[in-house]
Amino acid sequence: MMRRSNFQKALGYLALLALIVACGYLGVWQLHRAQASNRPVIVNTEIVPLDTLASPRNSLNGSVALRKVTVFGKYLLRFQAPNQIDSTGKSGTWEVDLMQVSSHAAILAVRGLWADRDQLDPAKEFAITATIMPHQNDARAQGSTDVLARIDSALVVDKTSLDLYDGYLVVSEESALNSGQKTLVSRTRISSPAPKSVIPGFYWQHISYVFIWWIMGCVVLYLPFYQRRIRRIEPENMAPEKESSQ
């Protein structure tokens, strides 16, 4: 019985030690996440052709989001995307066009505000500089024939036979091409979002988790001493009861 009791005590101490170490480790982990979330994200500012970063019919690699790309092509179809919010927090309806960038591929491009749209000419070619963005997951409106519930190429696969790129482009500069000459298209552009940390949450949120985990570790560490204290107090409380019964 004595060996068994000692074995149970050893297991109990090992379990307490494991909990203390786990709480300490989780606190350190949250501290590292807090530091990472507060670290500025640096995006490569080099402007490169779209096909060097992405390819049609393949998921967009998260590492290329917010990269600047150049594209040449024609706008085939036009859609409106309501209830979109730019990087300044301003809400509006955006013009989103399907741009054919090769003989077999196309990508969605945000050209500006829907109210500023011009006549769509599928024969005219354009050269654009744009920011590449991942597709949206949440619906912003009720979709219809020419209204996109969200900016996602999956919503237009039935409207073209071309292979589609994942994600979309936010146009920052656009020029019409005519016999080798470029004519700058002047209009209000949508501001691309600023780079954000890939770590979800906020700095002080992670710091609060650090204190929570470490406080829990301290509580677990104090438990054996608390139990010993309770065991000492119980006999002292029972002694007067025995004397009064006599």
Give the model's confidence band at 228: pLDDT under 50 very low, under 70 low, under 90 confident, else very high.
Answer: confident
112 Ramachandran zone, left/alpha/beta (phi>0; psi -120 to 50) = left
pLDDT at 108 over 90: yes
Which range of 164-178, 201-215, 223-237 scores highest in mean pLDDT? It is: 164-178
Query: What average pLDDT does the chain have?
Result: 85
Rounded to an integer, the average pLDDT of 4-29 is 80
Write out pLDDT tens, residues 60-74.
988 888 899 999 999
pLDDT at 211 over 80: yes
Write out pLDDT tens, residues 150-160.
999 999 999 99
pLDDT at 179 over 90: no
Answering whether pTM is above 0.75, one says: no
Domain ranges of the chain: 23-39+197-216, 48-184
Q: What is the pLDDT of residue 98?
A: 97
Residue 4 or residue 57, greater confidence:
57
CATH architecture under which domain 48-184 falls: Beta Barrel (2.40)
